[in-house]
């Protein structure tokens, strides 16, 4: 599951196809609701929120990773 942690406006301007826009403050509760059987790939504008989010989710037992938005744009 690809998660965009940027603002709603940034998400609407461009987002990775199929990405879900989630506020960083709701990330853990969203992941808890979606389950631990998924792999979570997070991105944001500068990489700080996505790195923190991936670390926090991994600390809680999820499979989570952060990817640089420029790299993600090249993949899309």
Each domain of the chain, given as residue ranges in start order, spans 2-75
Q: Please give the pLDDT value at position 75.
A: 87
CA dihedral 56, 1, 6, 74 (to 10 degrees): 120
User: What mean pLDDT is predicted for residues 6-25?
Assistant: 97
Whole-Å CA distances, 70 to 34, 40, 43, 47, 67: 27, 18, 10, 10, 9
What CATH superfamily classification does 2-75 receive?
Answer: Rhodanese-like domain (3.40.250.10)
CB of 39 closer than 8 Å to CB of 29: no
- C-alpha distances in angstroms, 35 versus 10, 16, 25, 32, 55? 26, 21, 17, 5, 17
pLDDT at residue 2 in the model: 97
pTM to 2 decimal places? 0.94
Q: What is the pLDDT of residues 34-76, one digit of tens each?
A: 999 999 999 999 999 999 999 999 999 999 999 999 999 998 8
Provide the pLDDT for residue 58. Answer: 98
Give the pLDDT confidence score for residue 76 in this predicted structure: 84
């Amino acid at each position: 599951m690809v998660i965009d942690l940027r603002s709603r406006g940034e998400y609407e301007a461009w987002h990775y196809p199929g990405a879900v826009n989630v506020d960083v403050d709701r990330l853990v509760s969203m992941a808890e609701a979606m389950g631990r059987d998924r792999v979570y790939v997070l991105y944001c504008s500068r990489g700080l929120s996505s790195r923190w989010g991936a670390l926090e989710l991994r600390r809680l037992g999820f499979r989570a990773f952060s990817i640089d938005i420029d790299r993600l744009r090249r993949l899309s």
